[in-house]
Amino acid sequence: KQEVTQIPAALSVPEGENLVLNCSFTDSAIYNLQWFRQDPGKGLTSLLLIQSSQREQTSGRLNASLDKSSGRSTLYIAASQPGDSATYLCAVTTDSWGKLQFGAGTQVVVTP
Amino acid sequence: GAVVSQHPSWVICKSGTSVKIECRSLDFQATTMFWYRQFPKQSLMLMATSNEGSKATYEQGVEKDKFLINHASLTLSTLTVTSAHPEDSSFYICSARGTGGEAFFGQGTRLTVV
């Protein structure tokens, strides 16, 4: 059974520092991996999607890498801002229908 | 990105009543939608996979007679919580997958059963 783990569970950094969020999964047979952001009491906002054949994806200050063979993905957020404070979730797609298996998330606080 | 709209965003109901939650894909067709449940400070747990024109597939431990799912069109799936009880209080979120494989989520529905 696929298990997704996110480390650390919580992270607090001063504004301007770079953020590094880790995600690991136990079964490398994935279709893709997706990073999401969730604000308190809200739904999920898709940040980056990495297909299983890709090594990384970039969008603005965000960069995500994928090493499928070792079961790891890392989300980098450059020059963090207070508005980046949220919970970040990674999820892997485990079947052709698009079923997602989520990690528990990393709660990020960026202090001014 | 694609837009998934979920309604209502919050609802309070009395114990024993039923509540319907709607999930719409606004600018794309979704043959498959997913329903998740999230408890406070926990991650999302998949409840069921909703397929247009056929019966939903429920995850182990999810009561299909309690959580009725209907996916009558390519842009609408509904989740009905029947005979709701306080333990059904939770945050329910739907998602749909775009053509590129990316999952898009609704805003979520906060259900409180009193």
Chain A contact for B5 (CB, 8 A cutoff): no
Residues A59-84, mean pLDDT to the nearest whole number: 97
Q: Does B42 contact chain A (CB < 8 Å)?
A: yes
Tell me what pLDDT residue A8 has: 92
How big is chain A, counted in residues? 112
* pLDDT band of A30, cuts 50, 70, 90: very high
Helix intervals (H) in chain A: none
Q: Which of B1, B46, B100 sits opposite A99 (nearest CB)?
A: B46
| pLDDT value at residue B1 | 65
Residue of A99, A101, A106 to mutate when probing chain B, most B C-beta within 10 A = A99
Nearest of A97, A108, A30 to residue A66 by alpha carbon: A30
Exposed/middle/buried for residue A69 (C-beta within 10 Å: 0-12, 13-18, 19+): exposed
Alpha-carbon gap, residue A85 to A1, rounded angstroms:
31
Tokens 């950094």 belong to A13
Q: Is the pLDDT of residue B113 over 80?
A: yes
B109 in reach of chain A (CB within 8 A): no
DSSP string, B37-58: EE-TTS-EEEEEEEETTS--EE
Token digits of residue A66: 């994928």
What's the rounded Cα separation, in Å, for the pair B29 and B52?
Answer: 10
Instruction: State how far the Cα of A95 lies from the Cα of A32, in Å rounded to an integer.
Output: 10
List, for residues B19-34, the tens digit of each pLDDT value.
999 999 998 888 889 9
Chain B hits for A31, Cβ within 8 Å:
101
Q: How many Å apart are CA B51 and CA A58, to the nearest integer?
A: 32
> Residue A95 has what pLDDT?
85
